[in-house]
Amino acid sequence: MPRILEPRHRPSSLLVAPAALLLTAFLVPGLLILAGQGEPAFNGVDTQWQALIFTLHSPFWDQVNAFLNWLGYVGVLILEVLLVAVLLLWRRPKMALFSALAALIALGVTQLAKAVVGRDRPEGAKVLTDTGSYPSGHVSATAVFLMTLVLLTGKLWFKLLAIAGILVTMASRTYLSAHWLSDVLGGACVGVGVTLLLWVPFMKICIQENLSAVTSPVWQARASRRQPAEGQPE
């Protein structure tokens, strides 16, 4: 039976460099919004994207995106709690700590940025919005959760799932007029950037913890029970 958790070692430079780039890409638009008093240099791109996606509105997509609105924040928070619980159940407390810290740090950074930047939301939002627009909390939370799964599983298909999930959430937030395009890009950057940066000190610890868990007598006994008895057809 293939293992679900297979965190892989990567050179620290391959984590720090993209994390720094992503966090810079998150900070710069926020500073430009502050400097421009709500009218950043990229405001034209934001409004053009908003006008384009408005043409896609329909009752069907309204319902789909209403569900994605719930899934992208409340749903992700529930999944995050379940992930931590499962990791603890599987005797991976350090992985659980990494998962929880990544989510909490990204949440804190996102909420702080919303309060400091104080950007207005687009007009005509289809969902309740009561905090600043930059960055998107839904996209940030989704990006952290999916990026955590990518790092803990080491699976290519999880990478593809993460990319698809983040892009869908980004599109949904702009469809609902809850965010500008730059807001969702900022949310993706802060979510992935924080997770990658936190993985640097946790990587070796989590890899060693996983190796110790899968070589323990308890895990070996469970694995052997899953194997078909010798001489019997599978």
Q: What is the DSSP string of 25-88?
A: HHHHHHHHHHHTTT--TTHHHHHHHHHHHHTT--HHHHHHHHHHHHIIIIIHHHHHHHHHHHHH
Average pLDDT, the chain: 89
pTM given for the model: 0.88
For residues 53 and 73, what is the distance between their CA atoms, to the nearest angstrom?
A: 21
For residues 159 and 147, what is the distance between their CA atoms, to the nearest angstrom?
A: 8
- If you average pLDDT over residues 139-155, what whole number do you get? 97
Q: Torsion angle of alpha carbons 223, 228, 230, 234, nearest 10°? A: -150
20-47 pLDDT, tens digit each: 999 999 999 999 888 875 567 788 899 9
**Consecutive H or E run containing 217:** helix 217-226
Residue 161's pLDDT band, with cuts at 50, 70 and 90, is very high
Residue 213's pLDDT band, with cuts at 50, 70 and 90, is confident
Name the DSSP letter for residue 230: T
Retrieve residue 86's tokens: 């499962």
Is residue 32 classed as helix, strand or coil in its secondary structure?
helix
Residue holding tokens 């993706």?
Answer: 188
Retrieve residue 167's tokens: 């892009």
